[in-house]
């Protein structure tokens, strides 16, 4: 058995208008999904707001969980132990998207596909859970025979692999303010 690493899935409810609308439909407590490469949540990626005060300007983002939007959010955090090769594949896939981030957009239209259970695929566009699911698929963590990536909701993600529950509550409570948070060894600036 080779060396292993952990990744983390961060599910949040930030209370924004968009998340409240999604929550009304899904009836689930968390409606935003992100993937993190460290327990300290220094390296967190998703598709979401590019500008904190405008939910309609979205795309690929390296999320700042120290922002007021996230610190006040309710969250659930799950971990998954994966091989170093899977970990590197994830990073490579995300870095490819990051290097072309201006060409990627938030898949608002795809949200209607989820609503009507009809896949709407757009080139270079993801919504948050579609992005996280694509990262898992590209690194061969999950095969997705049952559901199209464009129909994956945040609540579906933890069922895609053997994720382990880590924490539930206010994100601010998860962050230990008295501990210096340091980036993981594979830290990339986006």
Strands annotated E in the chain:
4-13, 32-36, 44-51, 54-62, 74-83, 105-106, 125-126, 164-170
What does the pLDDT look like over 123-148, one tens digit per residue? 999 999 999 999 999 998 876 667 89
- Model pTM? 0.88
* Nearest to 4, CA basis, from 61, 58, 80: 80
CATH for the stretch 4-174: 3.90.1720.10
Using a pLDDT cut of 70, give the percent of the chain over it.
87
Rounded Cα distance between 103 and 181, Å, is: 31
Q: Parse the chain into domains and list their residue ranges.
A: 4-174
- How many of the other CB atoms lie within 10 Å of CB of 123? 7
């Amino acid at each position: 058995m080779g060396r292993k690493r952990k990744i983390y899935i961060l599910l949040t409810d930030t209370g924004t208008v968009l998340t409240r609308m999604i929550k009304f439909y899904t009836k689930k407590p968390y409606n935003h999904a992100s993937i993190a490469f460290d327990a300290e949540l220094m390296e967190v990626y998703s598709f979401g707001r590019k500008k904190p005060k405008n939910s309609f300007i979205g795309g690929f983002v390296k999320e700042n969980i120290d922002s007021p939007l996230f610190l006040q959010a309710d969250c659930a955090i799950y971990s998954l132990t994966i091989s170093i090769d899977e970990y590197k594949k994830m990073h490579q896939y995300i870095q490819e998207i990051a290097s072309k981030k201006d060409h990627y957009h938030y898949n608002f239209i795809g949200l209607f596909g989820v609503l009507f259970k009809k896949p709407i695929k757009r080139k270079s566009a993801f919504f948050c859970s579609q992005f996280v699911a694509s990262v898992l698929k590209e690194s061969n963590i999950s095969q997705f025979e049952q559901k199209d990536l464009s129909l994956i909701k945040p609540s579906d993600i933890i069922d895609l692999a053997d994720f382990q529950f880590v924490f539930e509550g206010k994100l601010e409570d998860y962050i230990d303010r008295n501990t210096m948070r340091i980036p993981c060894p594979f830290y990339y600036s986006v």
